[in-house]
Amino acid sequence: MNAMNETHEVGLLQRVWEAMAQGDLTLLEHMLAPDAEWHGVEDGQLCGNRNEILDVIARNLPGRLQGRIEETIQNGPRVIVAFRPERSAQVGRPLDGGIAYVVVTIREGKIIEMKGCADRAAAIAYSQNGERPASPTLDGPRAPDPATLPSEHRVNRLVPFVRVDDVGRSIAFYEHLGFTVESVYRYRERPVWAALESEGAELMVTLDGDPIDPAGQGVLFYLYARDLAALRVQLLAAGIEVGEIEDGSPGPSEEMRLADPDGYVLMVAQTE
């Protein structure tokens, strides 16, 4: 980019900012490339195309873009625009001595990127190398390091046991999701408990008022173990409070109750 073009680009940007301060986005719209990007101070992408940029700026014109350009510095295709807003409290981003810095990248007369910078030094550095700090990446789900082996005695099945107002109504609803009734318990011809299945999915529903748990959490985590007595001994040895094994009729003949660290009640039954 020669000196004449640089002077032209800077002058055009100054007119763009002056027009925006008056609420006129026509020049900006003309200069923005269709796939222009706008990156914030922390490098999060605020907008990914011209329409998004125009929409955000239009909604934030009052107060935030009224002011004047203090300085412009060009470094090849990048131009630093140092803008002093009249109402700094409304800007909503870091200011350096009351000035907001943005680096505008221009190619073939079109703005292809705008990058907010926290201060003048950051703006100068970005205008020179155009490098944004690498975005933080989240460590996706993976096996823990180190991996732990399961305990000797453990559960092998989990079924949510949910309190409902009308078991028949719930059965009819879950049928639309593919569930079928595996078993049902009736009192005076009215279903008060039912077990539903749909391939690998399982669900139990019971009438409100059935004593699922003392905390009234609304859903009970119903688990099964191949050796319930051995599992109970193992839990007690680990210092975990566990209820006695009791008869769970009309459900499992052997079951015990315990709570997890957050107070969620679990019921563990002997696998038939």
Q: What separation in angstroms does the CA of 250 have from each of 64, 179, 185?
A: 68, 22, 8
Closest CA to 87 of 103, 102, 101, 98: 98
Contact 161, 255 (CB under 8 A): no
Residue 219 and residue 107: Cα distance in Å, rounded?
60
Helices (H) and strands (E) in the chain, counts: 7, 13
Q: Residue 204: count other Cβ atoms within 10 Å of its Cβ.
A: 19
pLDDT at 91: 56
Q: Within 13 Å of residue 162, how many CA atoms lie on the same side as its CB?
A: 15
Residue 118 and residue 93: Cα distance in Å, rounded?
8
pLDDT at 2: 43
Q: Which pair of structure tokens corresponds to residue 233?
A: 């001994």
Query: Residue 138 in 3-state DSSP?
Result: coil
Q: Residue 169: count other Cβ atoms within 10 Å of its Cβ.
A: 12
Residue pLDDT, tens place only, 82-138: 888 876 555 566 677 888 888 999 988 899 999 988 888 889 999 988 765 554 455
* pLDDT beneath 50: ranges in the chain: 1-5, 135-136, 210-211
Q: Which residue is it, tokens 């079109």?
A: 110
Q: Which residue is it, tokens 């222009």?
A: 36
DSSP codes of every residue in 216-253? --SEEEEEEES-HHHHHHHHHHTT--BPPPB--TTS-S
DSSP codes of every residue in 58-76? HHTHHHHS-EEEEEEEEET
pLDDT at 139: 61
pLDDT at 8: 74
The mean predicted confidence, pLDDT, of the chain is 82
